[in-house]
Structure 1
Amino acid sequence: MADDIVAVTRADWRGEARDLIELATSERPVAELLRRGLEWLTRVVRFDLATLFLLREGKLVAVVARGPLASERVRRHELRLADFPSLRQALETRRARAFTDEDHSHGDGDPFDGVLDLPPGHSCMVVPLCAAERCYGLLTLDRTECETYPQSVVDLVEVYGQMLATSLQEVEQKSTLERLHQREHEHARLLESQLGGDEVGVLETSRSPVVRELAMRARQVAETETPVLLLGETGTGKERLARAVHRWSTRAEAPFVTLNCAAIPEGLLESELFGHVKGAFTGATKDRAGRFQMAHGGTLFLDEVGEMPVELQAKLLRALQEKTFEPVGSDKTVRADVRILAATHVDLRQAISQRRFREDLYYRLSVFPLRLPPLRERLEDLPLLCAFLLEEQARRTARRGMKVTPEGLVRLATYDWPGNIRELANALERATILSRKRELGAEAFDVPVRAPEPKRPSEPAPAPESVEEGSVATLEEVQRQHILRVLARTQGRLYGPGGAAALLGLKPSTLQSRMKKLGIMRLEQYVANPPPSGK
């Protein structure tokens, strides 16, 4: 036995087991694991040839060989399992076995007959590589000396074979999980695309200078890890913009997870955000991950963050500052690498003054605020938005080829759209369901029509719109928005009584000159030059 086994300490065994586990959970391929396995085997037992065979469709295929007798011919060697009952028996019994020359001569022959010229009576051992319900293959050891491996050596190498098989099992399971994860990730991306639409194209092809500027700033901040606060009226497309920021970021391949803080009961919101452990409260029958854990490595979008209870805001602040939190009912700290995007239509400064929102959380979230303009301030985008929304709806309703006529666009431009893009989408979907034609004219839309109101000099001037600190509009932008409102009221008409020029107190030529300077085109010109399809 002393000639066959190499002295190995218990620490060596523990070290090799740890190395095999690290290899099995690393990104290295199976070949690297097997190569390292044979390298360490030289520290356990003496051999002139160690060969690893893997089972593949009824064959034992050599994949790695080591020792003085190892050669390319050995590494390409294959055995039909049906031709070697002794090898099949070793796999069935899962027990290592030392063979003698008599076993080979009266049994099924030497596995290396015709490949190696080994002397009669040479040492030979076969070790099955089995773990759980699976047998992965065999390990064979050969020496040119004419003596049998002692049983104590066979038992030792059998244990090593079990360790190596367990590592192979880890690699196989990891590979399977990665394939499933990749498949789920591709499926999730497909669903996101179907639900979110091509928001990137809509933003960057907008005819509104304000929206194009917004898209440019969103692209700039997307490349950073800075928190972004999306502001704007309900229905202006804050979630669409959040998805665009995620797609433009370095986290685009990671999860995009959303949580509507106003849609979940206050008592369940903490669990939804941070998760809970089994027994944390009535009904918590098992551990459940929260949105922070789901979004690890990706982006977490907190919609309607202004509606979050004050008690929970302190825990959210800590999670943002330290990137750690405790699930409900747990005393263990969980770390999550998450980029936060938040959105609200609430006036957060007013909420702070009313003690409904923490000031420190506001400053943490509003490092880079982005304000989305309401639809009534970007009416020049109506043709683009209608085309985009109809194409998006066609994937659900199967009504393809629908489009809004110039008359239909003028009708839509006369409405204020308090529900913004969401309300426009609903109006278009109703129209596509009710209309038997592919062209949606003015009669297809049941939105209220606004009658032009005569200008009354005695009427007091409207109070200026309140603006957030840091987002004061320029004088040119205020003029531009006012002209757009008047054009919508007159249905695009510039001349004559009740026309835009008369309501504004300007000559038609002066109004046209100012519109050109401000980048405003008449709605009819947009209809005549529609944006490219799919943008």
Structure 2
Amino acid sequence: MVDDSKGSTSLERVPEDKDLLELASAEPSVSELLRRGLDWVTRIARFDLATLFLLRDARLVAVAARGPLANAQVRGHVLELARFPQVRQALETRRARAFTEEDHTGEGDPFDGVLDLPPGHSCMVVPLCSGERCYGVLTLDRVECETYAPSVVELVEVYGQILATALQNAEQRATFERMHRQDREHAKLLESELGGDSEGILETSLSPVMRDLARRARQVAETDTPVLLLGETGTGKERLARAIHRWSARADQPFVTLNCAAIPAGLLESELFGHVKGSFTGAIKDRAGRFQMAHRGTLLLDEIGELPVDLQAKLLRALQEKTFEPVGSDRVVRADVRILAATHVDLQQAIAQRRFREDLYYRLSVFPLRLPPLRERREDLAQLCAFLLAEQVRRTGRRGMRVTPEGLARLAAYDWPGNLRELANVLERATILSPGLELGPHAFELPTRAPMEVPEVRPAAMTLEDVPTLAKVQREHILRVLSLTKGRIYGPGGAAELLGLKPSTLQSRMKKLGIARQDQFVIEGPR
């Protein structure tokens, strides 16, 4: 402790706890840091008022105060440096200084008009400087007319340096956190642009299968359980993976993807786990892998069925132990990663052919989700077209595009082997070529497939049962059109218009074919 009455200080008698040194490396907010800083001054020197001023342009602004003399007027006090050369000199020289009554001659006391301090009272100014930056000053005042001892001034000066270092760290940390928040927001914006409003299109689907899929995906998203996404190519497995990530508690953390089929086998291990400098030709520096990039976030392993067998064992270990070793390193790295895997390959068949490890399959397929092909969810065509056209605006610049009911009827008649990806391509091509905003049946360039070669059938081998009746063909065609229009007969885009019939004629034919009552379509008349 400090004994001002004797004018000496013993470093051995300063409290031995580590709070003072920890100030420089702690992570409190700036306001908390200033509060703790002033609290610590009481352990070093006696005062009736300790005030922290921060430098703002050419002024010192009081931001915190402690002691019996501290009040609201002190905490709002501002010093113009031009009026106090002695204070400015302490900042320029970066040396603490104890003032005498003579030092204030000509410029007055910094607290004149705020406090009624006696002439010759104890006063000290301590600059808060670290590196190339001066943050402000700490002032100590006592009503006693006695100058602070030099040993006390030296000790408080060291403390001022430590407090300035802590302020510098707090400022840098705040800057890094702000930049990190901006990066996260930017990453979320990019993910939204890449994945679109996948959540909305999933949960508002008219297909019962898709709605059930969205419900199950939301349930598993709340956990860290591995998810295996199955389905034909182009069904939207990556979109579903992004939706699961955004529904999860990891939504603010990275979403990282790796296409196992797009990277040469020799580089896949490095892409997954990273490498160290010199581990192979071309490794000119250390490089983090996708596991490290996805730490605390989600890693999507797309086309997992194409992963080389020799790498599957290392992936299995990383999944089980949550640790791995970068290529060329013996250092174990730990990563907290939620794994999603996607494939259109039949993994059971790949296991039978020894192209995929059975233990890895069971590790990944804890919660499998299978996406139906587009031909099994034709009721979503209108909604999907609107969604994809809105998503393509950024690339095409064509706003307000829409598919007409006749255009939807033509799209519904196609089987879509490429699923959503093929639909998106067809719509984008039509958008570019169409002069207007409406995409009718003639706007779409759908591929025509070569007829399949079938063995010649002799007339004698054909029976009457093999020939469909005209009524059966008509009934199936009317049912398909009614499904597309959701049972609506009248008006633009109604079933009657699409079939080229009068509404009354269509109703009569439906009654004859037993459609209305049996299939429970809602038949709307004119309003």
Partner of 2:19: 16
Partner of 1:462: none
1:99-119 Cα offsets, whole Å, 9 max, x none, are: 2111112x5222122222323
CA distance in 2, matches of 1:210, 1:369: 14
Alpha-carbon distance between aligned partners in 2 of 1:266 and 1:515, rounded to the nearest angstrom: 54
CA distance in 1, matches of 2:407, 2:195: 25
Q: Compared with structure 1, are the counterparts of its residues 6 and 348 closer, same or farther at alpha carbon in structure 2 (3 Å cutoff)?
A: farther
For residues 194-233 of structure 1, the aligned pairs below 5 Å read 194-233=193-232
In structure 1, give the amino acid aligned to 2:58. G
What residue number does 1:379 align with? Answer: 378
Q: Is the 8 A contact 2:24 2:163 kept in 1?
A: no
CA offsets 1:244-294 (integer angstroms, 9 cap, x no match): 111222222222221111112222222222223333333333333222222
Contact 1:273 1:290 in 2 (8 A): yes
Q: Which residue of 1 aligns with 2:266?
A: 267
The equivalent residue for 2:62 is 62
Q: Which amino acid in 2 is paired with 1:81?
A: L
User: Mapping of 1:228-247 within 5 angstroms?
Assistant: 228-247=227-246
CA distance in 1, matches of 2:13, 2:352: 67
Q: CA deviation at 1:403?
A: 1.6
> Once the 2 structures are TM-superposed, how far is the Cα of residue 146 of structure 1 from its aligned partner?
2.8
* Residue 513 (structure 1) shift: 6.2
Structure 1 residue 323 displacement after superposition: 2.1
Q: Distance in 2 between matches of 1:76 and 1:351?
A: 74
Gaps of 5+ in 1: 460-482, 497-506, 529-535
User: Are 1:184 and 2:183 counterparts?
Assistant: yes
* 1:169 partner amino acid: Q
Farther off after superposition, 445-454 or 198-207 = 445-454
The correspondence of residues 354-365 of structure 1 with structure 2, limited to 5 A, is 354-365=353-364
- Kindly indicate whether the alpha-carbon contact (under 8 Å) linking 1:415 and 1:448 is maintained by their aligned counterparts in 2: no
**Structure 2 counterpart SS, 1:385:** helix
Deviation at 1:76, TM superposition (A): 2.0
How far residue 354 of structure 1 moved from its aligned partner, in angstroms, is 2.1
C-alpha RMSD over aligned residues: 3.4
Q: What is the alpha-carbon distance in structure 2 between the residues aligned to residue 418 and residue 119 of structure 1?
A: 92
Separation in 2, partners of 1:513, 1:300: 51
In the other structure, the counterpart of 2:43 is 43
Q: 1:233 to 1:282 in 2, by over 3 A?
A: same
Aligned length: 483
Cα displacement string for residues 394-448 of structure 1 (whole angstroms, at most 9, x for unaligned residues) = 2321111212222222222232211111011111111111121222222222213
Query: Hey, what's the Cα distance between the residues in 2 that align with 1:51 and 1:150?
Result: 19
8 A Cα contact 2:9 2:152, kept in partner:
no
**Shift, 1:22, TM fit:** 5.0
CA deviations over 1:141-172 (Å, ceiling 9, x no partner): 22333333233322221111111001001111
Per-residue deviation, 1:342: 1.0
Q: SS at the partner of 2:392?
A: helix
SS of 2:251's equivalent? coil
Contact 1:415 1:450 in 2 (8 A): no
Question: What residue is the counterpart of 1:331 in the other structure?
Answer: 330
Question: What's the secondary structure of 2:341's corresponding residue?
Answer: strand
| Larger-Rg structure | 2
Structure 2 distance, partners of 1:180, 1:409, is 46
Q: Which residue matches 2:74?
A: 74
Instruction: State the shift of 1:331 in Å.
Output: 3.0
Instruction: Tell me the SS of whatever aligns to 1:259.
Output: strand
- 1:471-501 deviations in whole A, cap 9, x for unaligned? xxxxxxxxxxxx89x959x99999x9xxxxx
- Percent sequence identity is 71
Q: 1:34: which partner in 2?
A: 34
**Could you say if the C-alpha distance between residues 491 and 446 of structure 1 is closer, same or farther in structure 2, counting changes exceeding 3 Å?**
farther
Query: Residues 463-478 of structure 1 correspond to what in structure 2 (within 5 A)?
Result: none
After TM superposition, list the pairs within 5 Å mapping 1:135-214 onto structure 2. Answer: 135-214=134-213
CA–CA separation in structure 1 for the residues paired with 2:24 and 2:155: 19
C-alpha distance 146-285 of structure 1, shift in aligned 2 (>3 A): farther
Equivalent residue letter for 2:41: L
Query: Which residue number in structure 1 is paired with residue 443 of structure 2?
Result: 444
Q: Which residue of 2 aligns with 1:352?
A: 351
Q: Which amino acid aligns with 2:275?
A: H
Specify the code of the residue in structure 2 equivalent to 1:60.
L
Structure 1 position 368 matched with structure 2 position 367: yes
Give CA-to-partner distance per residue, 1:4-34, whole Å, 9 cap, x none.
56644499567134431453x2xx4212111
Give the conservation status (yes or no) of the 8 Å contact 2:21–2:162: no
- Can you list the C-alpha shifts for 1:220-263, whole angstroms capped at 9, x where unaligned? 21122211110001100001111111122222222222111111
Q: CA deviation at 1:188?
A: 1.5
How many Å separate the matches in 2 of 1:66 and 1:6? 22
Distance (whole Å) between structure 2 residues aligned to residue 416 and residue 5 of structure 1:
93
Distance 1:7 1:49, change over 3 A: farther
Aligned positions of 1:97-108 closer than 5 A: 97-105=97-105, 107-108=106-107
Distance 1:165 1:266, change over 3 A: same
The amino acid of 1:15's aligned partner reads: K
CA distance in 1, matches of 2:8, 2:376: 84
The corresponding residue for 1:407 is 406
Aligned residue identity for 1:292: F
C-alpha distance in 2, partners of 1:164/1:92? 18
Residue 336 (structure 1) shift: 2.2
| Structure 1 residue 49, shift from structure 2 partner | 2.1
- CA distance 1:331–1:81, change in 2 (3 Å): farther
Q: Give the whole-Å Cα distance in 2 for the aligned partners of 1:64 and 1:333.
A: 47
In 2, Cα distance between the equivalents of 1:512 and 1:229? 42
1:95 paired residue number: 95
Q: CA deviation at 1:174?
A: 1.0
